[in-house]
Amino acid sequence: MNPISEVVYANPRLVRRTARILSLILLTFYLSLIFFNEDVRENLTLPFILYGLVIISLLFAWRWERRGGLVATAGALLFGLFLLVNSLLRIEIDLLPAVLGALILFLPCFSAGWLFYTLGQRSRPIKTPGLE
């Protein structure tokens, strides 16, 4: 077991609150992008739809931690990869701003999803049929 998982297992209430607060901050950020940015409202693009799906999966993780966290983690990986590839395909954007922009949007979503998933593993361990 890695040291970070040990911290999660030792302090489940604190980690759960942290993951929920982080998901609420991300939801607020996403909704502010949609409501206060006219370009996004007029032209809802695929990155914003992917980001919205990640945020919805984080909210589902409040109830179903393992499943919601797994979907949010996988969605954040796809979202970050999509942003990186999309930024690199544009000629006017250099490598460093593309990587930093993808990381800024990817890391909080991935972190919250991973925390939810790890909490779900703690409270409901995966049972493998035949190995009990």
| Per-residue model confidence as pLDDT tens digits over 4-58 | 667 777 788 888 888 899 999 988 888 887 777 766 556 657 777 777 788 888 8
Amino acid type, 50: L
Q: Look at residue 129 and tell me if it is in a domain.
A: no
| Whether the Cβ atoms of residue 70 and residue 115 lie closer than 8 Å to each other | no
Q: Look at residue 114 and tell me if it is in a domain.
A: yes
Domain containing 118 equals: 3-122
Q: Look at residue 66 and tell me if it is in a domain.
A: yes
Q: What is the pTM of this model?
A: 0.76
Q: What is the mean pLDDT of the chain?
A: 78
pLDDT on residue 121: 80
Q: Is the pLDDT of residue 129 over 80?
A: no
Q: Look at residue 32 and tell me if it is in a domain.
A: yes
For the chain, the domain total comes to 1
Cα–Cα distances in Å, from 115 out to 5, 10, 65, 78? 9, 13, 9, 18
Q: Look at residue 89 and tell me if it is in a domain.
A: yes
Cα–Cα distances in Å, from 8 out to 40, 94, 126? 37, 37, 17
pLDDT on residue 126: 46
Torsion of CA 88, 44, 111, 18, to 10 degrees: 150
Q: Look at residue 131 and tell me if it is in a domain.
A: no
Q: Look at residue 127 and tell me if it is in a domain.
A: no
Alpha helices, DSSP H only, in 1-132? 3-10, 12-36, 38-42, 46-60, 65-89, 95-123
- Tens digits of per-residue pLDDT, 12-22? 888 888 889 99
Taking the C-alpha atoms of residue 30 and residue 97, their distance in angstroms, rounded to an integer, is: 20
pLDDT on residue 21: 92
- Tens digits of per-residue pLDDT, 76-128? 888 888 878 877 777 677 778 778 877 887 888 888 888 888 888 865 544 54
Q: Which two tokens stand for residue 132?
A: 């009990």
